[in-house]
Amino acid sequence: MSKIILTGDRPTGRLHVGHYVGSLRRRVELQNSGMFDKIYIMIADAQALTDNAENPEKVRQNIVEVALDYLSCGLDPAKSTLFIQSQLPELCELSFYYMNLVTVSRLQRNPTVKAEIQMRNFEASIPVGFFTYPISQAADITAFKATTVPVGEDQLPMIEQTKEIVRKFNSVYGDTLVEPEVLLPDNKACLRLPGIDGKAKMSKSLNNCIYLSDTEEDVRKKVMSMFTDPNHLQVSDPGRVEGNPVFIYLDAFCKDDMFAEYLPDYANLDELKAHYTRGGLGDVKVKKFLNNVLQEELAPIRARRKEWEKQIPAVYDILKEGSRVAREAASQTLDDVKKSMKINYFEDNALITEQAQKYQNV
Ligand code: ATP
Ligand code: MG
C-alpha cells in the first residue's frame, strides 16, 4: 500500500515554534527521507473560516504567510504538494456525506473542540461549521487516502474521529477509505509546546508565540521575558524544571553540541537541569543560552524566508499548481466514495438495466 502523508495548518497567523516542533520539523524530515509516495500539505483556510467567518481578510492575508513559513522551513514543492483547502470543492462533498455517520453527542465529546469552544467563548453560540470541523478534517485526510498524519498532540481526537468515520463508512458501504495513523513527535516536550506566558499551549489565538519569522531581536526579547518557575526568586534558590517553559523549550530544541559552543560549563542539558534544581543557577543565564539555541535553529529559516519574500507571485503559483494536483487526487476518492454509496447513477449500468427490466417485466 502507498504511504501517503496529509497534514496542514490554519492560516490564522504566521507559524510559530510550537508548529515547528509539533509538526513542521518532522514533515521536512519525512519529506526528505524518501519513504513516502505522496506528501500533501494543506493550508486549511476553510477550517480557519469556521471560527473567523466575520474576518475573511485575516485568513486571506495569512495564506501567503503560512506558505512562506513552509518554504522557509524546507518544504519543497518538488517533493510535497502544497495546496489551499477551499480550492478543492470535493472536500465539502465528502464532509457532507460523512456527516451522516457521526452523531451530535459524539462531536460534543471531542475534548479539543470542547477546549477550543471555551477558549473562544463560543459556549452559547457555536457556529455549526466550527462544531463539525472534525468531520471536515476527516474529509481532508481521507480524500488523499492518507496513511500518516504528523501533528501535535491536540490533534489526537481529530484523528480518532477520522478513524471512526472510516470504519463506519467501510462497514456500511464496503472497503473504500483508508484508516490513517497519527504520527506524534517522539520528544515529549514537542507534543504541546507551552506559550512564553507558561500557558499550556503556544497558540496563535493566545498571543503567546515565538514566530518562525520573528526578528533576532524579537526572539531575544520574548525569551528574556519568558515565564519560568515563579518560586525561583533568588539565584541561590532551588528551581523547578518540570513545567518550566524555558526548560521545556530547551528539551525541544537543544542539542549536546550547543553546550560546547554557548555554555561550556555544562556537558549537556541534564547537568544544567541538575544545577538549576539544586540552586545557584539564575534564570537569566539559562534564558541567554535558550536564546542562542533558538537563534541557531531559526537563523537559516529566517534567511530562506527573506529569499522567498522576493518571489511572492511564484509562491502563489506553487499553491495554484499544488491545488490543481491535490484536486485530482481528491476527485478520484470522491468518485470511489460515490460508487460505494451507489450514488454514481450515470456510470451505473447495472442500475439502468435493473430499472429497465423492472418495467419491461411488469
Ligand atoms: P489556532 O489557534 O488558530 O487553532 P494553532 O496555533 O493551534 O492555531 P493550528 O493551525 O491549529 O495552530 O495547528 C497546526 C498544527 O500545529 C497541528 O498539527 C497542531 O497539533 C500543531 N501545533 C499547534 N500548536 C502547537 C504547540 N503549541 N505545540 C505542538 N504542536 C502544535
Ligand atoms: Mg489549533
Query: Which ligand does the CA of 184 lie closest to?
Result: 1
Q: Looking at the predicted structure, is the pLDDT value of residue 9 above 80?
A: yes
pLDDT score for 119: 83
pLDDT score for 205: 76
Q: Whose CA is nearest to atom 30 of ligand 1?
A: 22
| Mean pLDDT, range 54-73, rounded to an integer | 98
Closest ligand 1 atom, residue 194 Cα: 27
Give start and end residues of each alpha helix (H) in 255-282: 257-262, 269-278
Average pLDDT, the chain: 95
Q: Is the dihedral of CA 64, 66, 67, 68 positive or negative?
A: positive
Pick from 45-49, 75-79, 189-193: least confident: 189-193
Q: Which three cell numbers stand for residue 46?
A: 476553510
Domains detected in the chain: 4-192+312-353 (3.40.50.620), 216-308 (1.10.240.10)
Instruction: Give the pLDDT confidence of 152-192 residue by residue, as tens digits.
Output: 889 999 999 999 999 999 999 999 999 999 999 889 999 99
pTM score of the predicted model: 0.94
pLDDT score for 31: 97
Q: How far apart are CA 160 and CA 169, in angstroms?
A: 14
pLDDT score for 120: 83
Instruction: Give the pLDDT confidence of 82-139 residue by residue, as tens digits.
Output: 999 999 999 999 999 999 999 999 999 999 999 988 888 887 789 999 999 999 999 9
pLDDT score for 147: 98
- Substitution candidate for ligand 1 out of 116, 141, 149, 154 with most atoms within 8 A of CB: 154
**Residue 22 Cα, ligand 1 centroid: separation in angstroms?**
8
Show contacts of 330-333: CB within 8 Å, 24+ apart: 330/88, 330/90, 330/91, 330/94, 330/143, 330/144, 331/90, 333/90, 333/94, 333/142, 333/143, 333/144, 333/145, 333/177
Q: Looking at the predicted structure, is the pLDDT value of residue 361 above 70?
A: no
**Residue 203 Cα, ligand 2 centroid: separation in angstroms?**
7
First to last CA, the chain: 47
Q: How far apart are CA 98 and CA 146, in angstroms?
A: 16
Q: Whose CA is nearest to atom 5 of ligand 1?
A: 203
- Substitution candidate for ligand 1 out of 19, 61, 63, 148 with most atoms within 8 A of CB: 19
Give start and end residues of each alpha helix (H) in the chain: 17-19, 25-33, 45-49, 56-73, 89-98, 104-108, 111-119, 128-131, 133-143, 156-173, 216-224, 245-253, 257-262, 269-278, 283-309, 312-340, 349-361
Q: Which three cell numbers stand for residue 196?
A: 512564553
pLDDT score for 362: 52
